[in-house]
């Protein structure tokens, strides 16, 4: 299968970004299941001086990077589709063939499907678009508008959507209910699935297994969420500071990918001068430094799935978290160190510090077992791939009424092709054996969808070997 992937890219295109880490694991485990898979990744076009310079490297095996214009603001980019998508991937005029388009921007799913398709519905391949929702936005979160809610809901209703957790899906359904009809809401719930963002447990082990045995002598409390006011990081720091002020021999640290400028406001605040700060860290450095701590805190309200939290749990740190839907989802409602107020959070941290070995021995193995069973991408990706393959097969089967009359022509065209060929060669062969049939002809209603005919060719010849080139080429068995 060929996958096109349009991620949500941060303003600095950092390697610690959830989209980037998810894609690396997705590619790794898909290739284990299907060595012939190919990936197109839409990345920001980089001009001199752009913030994306020296960012994450998305390249890799059987992967082709497609530079497109992106907005520096993630929130602007959530509703942006650019001309390159049409020019490269439209089923009539594009030169790139894909089976599944995965987008992390549900707002663009309706217009994306339109741009990828032949406007004459009876002649379209009906491209398969799948939403992988990174974060659900609503008017109570980051102050987005009702228009953005409406766009988001339209995306969920027109394409299958993968949500990261049950509570995220529940929020999405509540938002959609405000904007769409009951029939559309029913369609949305029938198409949606839930798979966690997950983490690559084996990759975390590879990076920081040694550092787990090199913990600081003093019990170290870690904070590693983003330094956003919406995630109430100042309240978390206050809880940490109160534990230190209570006379306990603890070490406090902040480990984050945030810039030095953000950390400077903490270092310059007299109240928090005892907190060690590690900023601007790449993922390996981040995971190594986190591994030397003993426990961590998060007072965040809004989380759909926090890979940062799960990586710390897998590394062996004890979590002390705000009791919220996201934390109960990650560690279970029965986990005893979920607090409702800062005062309760401080009391819980003091208890864990005073009884660290007993709490560690009771909970670290249990939490790690839960992570491995529920959140390891080594198990999640094959399940997700199987679902996408099913959606792809259903789409191809649904095209039989359209492609039936041309299947004999497709078989005859493949017979006269050389051992290795591409789409231009295939189009020429169709003209040769089809008495003037031209899949590249551009005469509006008399035109044919080039990629629809390619779909028919691949359905008739599933044994063709995809050579993994950017512009598709195949080898006969």
pTM, two decimals, is: 0.92
Tokens representing residue 403 in the block: 């492609």
Confidence of residue 194 (pLDDT cuts 50, 70, 90): very high
> Would you say the C-alpha torsion 369, 371, 376, 382 has a positive or negative sign?
positive
Can you tell me the mean pLDDT for 211-226? 90
Q: pLDDT-derived band of residue 174, with 50, 70 and 90 as boundaries?
A: very high
Quote the pLDDT of residue 267. 63
Please state the φ and ψ torsions of residue 133, each to the nearest 5 degrees.
-80, 110
Q: Check residue 142 and give its pLDDT.
A: 67
CA distance 210 to 208: 5
Q: What is the pLDDT of residues 371-395, one digit of tens each?
A: 999 999 999 999 999 999 999 999 9
CB distance 149 to 126 below 8 Å? no
Answer whether residue 82 shows pLDDT above 90: no
pLDDT higher than threshold 80 for residue 73: no
Which tens digits make up the pLDDT trace of 235-281?
788 888 778 767 788 998 988 876 666 666 666 665 666 788 888 78
d(CA 224, CA 50): 27
Contact 164, 196 (CB under 8 A): yes
- Which range is least confidently modeled, 26-40, 288-302, 370-384? 288-302
Spatial separation of the C-alpha atoms in residues 90 and 97, rounded to whole Å: 9
Distance CA 56, CA 43 (A): 10
Indicate the pLDDT class of residue 123, thresholds 50, 70 and 90. Answer: confident
Give the SS3 label for residue 52: coil
Residue 231 — very low, low, confident or very high, per pLDDT cuts 50/70/90? low
- Lateral strand order in the sheet of 100-103: 63-68, 38-44, 2-6, 100-103, 129-132, 161-163, 193-194
């Amino acid at each position: 299968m060929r996958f096109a992937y349009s991620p949500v890219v941060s303003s600095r295109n950092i390697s610690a970004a959830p989209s980037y880490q998810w894609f690396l694991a997705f590619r790794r485990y898909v290739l284990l299941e299907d060595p012939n898979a190919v990936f197109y990744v839409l990345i920001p076009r980089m001009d001199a001086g752009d913030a994306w310079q020296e960012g994450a490297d998305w390249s890799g095996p059987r992967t082709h990077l497609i530079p497109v214009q992106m907005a520096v603001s993630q929130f602007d980019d959530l509703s942006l589709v650019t001309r390159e998508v049409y020019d490269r991937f439209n089923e009539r005029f594009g030169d790139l063939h894909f089976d599944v388009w995965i987008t992390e921007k549900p707002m663009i799913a309706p217009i994306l499907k339109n741009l990828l398709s032949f406007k004459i519905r009876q002649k379209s391949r009906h491209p398969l678009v799948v939403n992988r929702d990174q974060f659900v936005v609503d008017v109570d979160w980051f102050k987005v508008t009702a228009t953005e809610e409406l766009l988001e809901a339209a995306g969920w209703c027109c394409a299958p959507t993968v949500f990261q957790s049950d509570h995220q899906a529940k929020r999405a359904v509540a938002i959609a209910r405000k904007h769409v009809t009951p029939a559309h809401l029913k369609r949305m719930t029938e198409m949606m699935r839930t798979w966690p963002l997950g983490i690559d447990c084996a990759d975390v082990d590879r990076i920081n297994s040694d550092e787990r045995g090199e913990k600081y002598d003093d019990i170290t409390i870690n904070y590693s969420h983003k330094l956003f006011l919406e995630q109430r990081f100042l309240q978390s720091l206050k809880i940490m500071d109160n534990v230190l002020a209570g006379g306990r021999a603890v070490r406090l640290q902040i480990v984050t990918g945030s810039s030095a400028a953000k950390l400077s406001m903490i270092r310059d605040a007299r109240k928090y001068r005892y907190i060690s700060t590690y900023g601007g860290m790449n993922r390996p450095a981040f995971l190594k430094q986190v591994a030397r701590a003993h426990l961590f805190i998060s007072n965040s309200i809004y989380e759909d799935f926090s890979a940062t939290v799960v990586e710390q749990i897998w590394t062996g740190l004890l979590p002390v978290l705000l009791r919220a839907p996201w934390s109960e989802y990650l560690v279970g409602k029965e986990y005893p160190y979920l607090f409702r107020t800062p005062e309760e959070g401080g009391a819980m941290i003091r208890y864990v510090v005073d009884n660290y070995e007993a709490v560690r021995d009771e909970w670290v193995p249990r939490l790690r077992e839960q992570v491995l069973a529920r959140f390891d991408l080594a198990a999640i990706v094959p399940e997700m791939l199987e679902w996408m393959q099913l959606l792809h097969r259903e789409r191809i089967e649904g095209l039989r009424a359209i492609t039936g009359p041309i299947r004999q022509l497709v078989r005859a065209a493949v017979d006269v092709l050389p051992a290795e060929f591409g789409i231009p060669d295939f189009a020429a062969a169709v003209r040769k054996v089809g008495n003037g049939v031209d899949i590249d002809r551009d005469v509006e209603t008399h035109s044919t969808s080039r990629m629809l005919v390619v779909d028919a060719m691949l359905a008739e010849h599933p044994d063709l070997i995809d050579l993994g080139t950017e512009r598709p080429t195949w080898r006969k068995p």
